[in-house]
């Protein structure tokens, strides 16, 4: 009994010490449109006052890092993660954020190495529906839905953003600052504001551009837009 008590005590101390060094158990993404929680059956309006419904949103994220208050860069994960708005489990990242962090950094997209080193597995498996061709590579992010302003079959709009070669490299690095109060929250919530696809930096109108299916100018504009959609929740 005494030996078991010692083992239990040692385990509890270990868990306490480990937890003291971390501020979040994980990271979660939550989705909004014009500050309303996203619902698949809800109608929203973009900045051009176009009505729309969003039924699919997926994106890759990778190269997670943190910068602490001593300006040290801490690698959190080299893995690629596929975020899927319809799969709540995919929106919870498994790694921890150390204490005393003032910024987190991550990429939206798939790095050039993964685009050029043959067939990948796991979340990068082409069967996930986030891959174009071996020449054009991965879809970094996709947004799909319907809008009366889309002059397409079924009034569908479909934005697939990709490209990994200059001058059309769609990978974007996101840098988010954290306040001391935010670093204490468990989990850390990253708000993802979907309206930014249409007005983050460039005005995108569904009536003029209902589709994007290849690397190019429109894909770069969409990537620049959605790079602005992330904020750390203050609630």
Q: What is the pLDDT of residue 17?
A: 36
Across the range 195-223, mean pLDDT stands at: 97
Span between the terminal Cα atoms of the chain, in Å: 46
Q: Is residue 4 part of a domain?
A: no
Whether residue 7 lies inside any domain: the answer is no
Prediction pTM value: 0.87
Per-residue pLDDT tens over the stretch 115-134 = 888 789 999 999 999 999 88
- At residue 9 the predicted structure's pLDDT band, cuts being 50, 70 and 90, is very low
The pLDDT tens digits of the residues spanning 73-94 come to 999 999 999 999 999 999 999 8
Q: What is the pLDDT of residues 130-162, one digit of tens each?
A: 999 888 899 999 999 999 999 999 999 999 999
pLDDT value for 16? 36
d(CA 47, CA 203): 8
Tell me what pLDDT residue 10 has.
44
Residue 157 counted as domain residue:
yes
Examine residue 8 and state whether it is found in any structural domain, yes or no: no
Domain that holds residue 223: 25-232
9 within some domain: no
pLDDT value at position 231? 96
Total tally of structural domains belonging to the chain = 1
User: Is 6 a member of any domain?
Assistant: no
């Amino acid at each position: 009994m005494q030996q078991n008590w010692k083992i239990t005590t040692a385990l509890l101390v270990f868990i306490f010490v480990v937890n003291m060094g971390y501020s979040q158990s994980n990271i979660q993404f939550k989705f909004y449109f014009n500050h309303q929680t996203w619902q698949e059956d809800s109608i929203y309006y973009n900045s051009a006052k176009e009505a729309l419904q969003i039924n699919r949103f997926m994106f890759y994220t990778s190269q997670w890092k943190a910068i602490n208050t001593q300006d040290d860069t801490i690698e959190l994960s080299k893995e690629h993660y596929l975020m899927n708005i319809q799969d709540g489990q995919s929106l919870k990242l498994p790694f921890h954020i150390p204490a005393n962090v003032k910024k987190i950094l991550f990429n939206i997209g798939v790095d050039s190495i993964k685009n050029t080193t043959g067939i990948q597995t796991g979340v990068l498996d082409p069967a996930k529906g986030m891959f174009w061709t071996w020449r054009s590579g991965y879809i970094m992010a996709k947004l799909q839905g319907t809008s009366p302003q889309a002059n397409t079959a079924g009034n569908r709009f479909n934005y697939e953003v990709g490209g990994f070669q200059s001058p059309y490299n769609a990978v974007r690095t996101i840098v988010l600052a954290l306040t001391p109060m935010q670093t204490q929250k468990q989990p850390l919530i990253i708000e993802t504001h979907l309206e930014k696809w249409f007005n983050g930096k460039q005005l995108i109108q569904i009536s003029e551009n209902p589709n994007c299916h290849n690397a190019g100018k429109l894909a770069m504009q969409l990537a620049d837009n959605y790079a602005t959609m992330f904020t750390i929740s203050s609630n």
